[in-house]
Amino acid sequence: MKKIAFLTSGGDSPGMNAAIRAIVKTCLHYNITPFGIYDGYQGMIEGRGKEMTYADVDNIIQYGGTILGTARSADFKTAEGRKRAYEFLNQNQVDGLIVVGGDGTFTGATILSQENNIPIIGLPGTIDNDIYGTEYTIGFDTALNTVIDAVDKIRDTASSHHRIFFVEVMGRDAGFIALHTALASGADSVLIPETITDIPKLVEEIKSHNKGRRSTIIIVAEGDDEGNALDILTKVKPHLDGYDLRHSVLGHIQRGGSPSALDRKIATRMGSYAVELLIQNKTGLTVGVRGEQLTTCQISEAIKEHGAPDLAYLKLIELLRTK
Ligand code: F6P
């Protein structure tokens, strides 16, 4: 291993910079040249990257986003795009590749590796936490803290106005953010894509727990089977005459901001471990974390399976709901 390339791809997540910093510094420690590629696979296709130094990663651990930039590259899904991408790696004599992102990022790396026999390691970087083989993805914890801060604020206005709020959080296909933030913010109900939403039951729940209370908070994952927060509000509204209903979409504020201690720690440990794995000639793996332990999983398995949230959280939220 003389030169290791790395990129961030898909949606950015807080802690990606901590991972980049750890990759660069670990490479330099082992006299390996770290080669950063800009804007994910799109930058690889367009031949944009550079050898990185300590100075490039000084003072970045505390910043959200990714200093390398990211993209969702449609060109990389074509054989022609991947051919150009590999040519760039080849021209630069890259011996191994580390990708930080979600399922789509891992799928892209796997195809590239199969077509060109290049060693790859994947790091789970997404706020959604929906990656198989890890308890936490880089960025999830920061996103949770951003959401609970927002929900606390929404609760102030909801209580002042005696309102029922539907708060929409990210999670196109996964309810991790919704479930964890509902528990941590003391929300009254939560709607996630992994369970079937029953609108008449929700109406009854709202009527029952709103009785005599100043506010009701319902967290809605954007990908819920009955729709987003506005869709849900529209569906329950005809059955909740006399109630003051509002919705609030938290959107991309969930993806930004300074990473939490947990995200900085796991990103740093995972980034450094990815370099060590390549040095040991390991390939086709994703790095994960279980408790305090770093783990690995076959990248093929991580793509095939989908991380599933613990539905015991849902039961606990129901149990704690005021009757
Ligand atoms: O994949 C992370 C994610 O934050 C999803 O939860 C969300 O649906 C999506 O990205 C939004 O992506 P974009 O910024 O491309 O609209």
Give me ligand 1 centre to Cα 11, in Å: 6
For residues 49 and 158, state if they share a domain: no
- The answer on 269 and 249 residing in a single domain is no
Ligand 1: atom nearest CA of 102 is 1
Give yes or no: residues 23 and 67 share one domain: yes
What's the CA gap between 80 and 92, in Å, rounded? 19
Is residue 210 domain-resident?
yes
DSSP annotation of 237:
G
Q: Do 85 and 159 share a structural domain?
A: no
CB 178 within 8 A of CB 219: yes
Same structural domain for residues 152 and 238? yes
How close is the Cα of 298 to the center of ligand 1, in Å? 25
Q: Which domain holds residue 84?
A: 3-139+259-304
Q: How far is the CA of 121 from the centre of ligand 1 (A)?
A: 23
Ligand 1, atom 8: closest residue by C-alpha: 172
Query: From residue 16, how far is each of 35, 54, 109, 203, 212 by CA, in Å?
Result: 16, 16, 17, 41, 45
Token pair, residue 243, equals 């109630």
What residue's CA is closest to ligand 1, atom 2? Answer: 11
Q: Catalytic amino acids?
A: 128
Establish if 320 belongs to a structural domain. no
Q: What's the mean pLDDT in 91-117?
A: 96
Quote the radius of gyration of the chain (alpha carbons, Å): 22
Q: Which residues line the pocket of ligand 1, CB cutoff 6 A?
A: 11, 102, 126-128, 170-172, 222, 255
How far, in Å, is the centroid of ligand 1 from the Cα of 249? 13
Q: Do 133 and 263 have their domain in common?
A: yes
- Beta-carbon contacts of 140 under 8 Å, excluding residues fewer than 6 positions away, are 13, 126, 127, 128, 129, 176, 177, 263
How many residues are listed for the chain in this entry? 323
> Which atom number of ligand 1 is nearest to the Cα of residue 72?
15
244: which DSSP letter?
E
Q: 89 and 191 in one domain?
A: no
244-249 and 33-37 strand pairing: unpaired
Residues 155 and 272 in one domain: no
Q: Does pLDDT of 323 surpass 80?
A: no
Q: How many domains does the chain have?
A: 2
Give the nearest ligand 1 atom to 223 CA. Answer: 8
User: Mean pLDDT throughout 262-275?
Assistant: 98
pLDDT digits (tens, 9 = 90+) for 212-250: 889 999 999 999 999 999 999 999 999 999 999 999 999
Q: Whose CA is nearest to atom 6 of ligand 1?
A: 171
Smallest CA separation from ligand 1 atom 10, residue: 11
- The pLDDT of residue 210: 83
| CB-based contacts of 257, cutoff 8 Å, min separation 6 | 14, 64, 142, 146
The 3-state DSSP class for residue 61 equals coil
Segment 118-154, tens digit of pLDDT:
999 999 999 999 999 999 999 999 999 999 999 999 9
CATH number at residue 243: 3.40.50.460
Is the four-CA dihedral 12, 222, 144, 141 of positive or negative sign?
Answer: negative
